[in-house]
Amino acid sequence: DIVMTQTPLSLSVTPGQPASISCKSSQSLLHSDGKTYLYWYLQKPGQPPQLLIYEVSNRFSGVPDRFSGSGSGTDFTLKISRVEAEDVGVYYCMQSIQLPPFTFGPGTKVDIK
């Protein structure tokens, strides 16, 4: 299985300040079709996960533009340009280039200072 790692595992951010989460995969997520199958999810407290970013850098419908994704190969980053109170929760990266199974990172817990 592809192993996903995330750093940091927890992050405390002042509202209005930026935040950044790193995700690394044990194998390249670049497919022979030229696309990279890396996704980001946010699980707010008491809620199911919600899709933020698909294929490294594409925001899902309704996701604010303060969220952005970047990276390639095995190294990826999720950035929040200005953290808001509603952004608290656990952020997960996920790969889907190798199945089964899709694998998730361990999660990064973000809270507000």
Partner 1 sequence: EVQLVQSGAEVKKPGESLKISCKGSGYSFTSYWIGWVRQMPGKGLEWMGIIYPGDSDTRYSPSFQGQVTISADKSISTAYLQWSSLKASDTAMYYCARLTDKYGDFRRGYFDYWGQGTLVTVSS
Q: Contact positions toward partner 1, by CB under 8 A?
A: 31, 33, 35, 37, 39, 41, 43, 48-51, 54, 60, 90, 92, 94, 96-107
> Cβ 54 to partner 1, closest distance in Å?
5
Spell out the residues 6+ positions from residue 26 whose beta carbon is closer than 8 angstroms to its own: 2, 3, 4, 74
> Cβ 99 to partner 1, closest distance in Å?
5
Q: Measuring CA to CA, which residue among 29, 42, 31 is closest to residue 3? A: 29
> Cβ 39 to partner 1, closest distance in Å?
5
Distance CA 13, CA 57 (A): 22
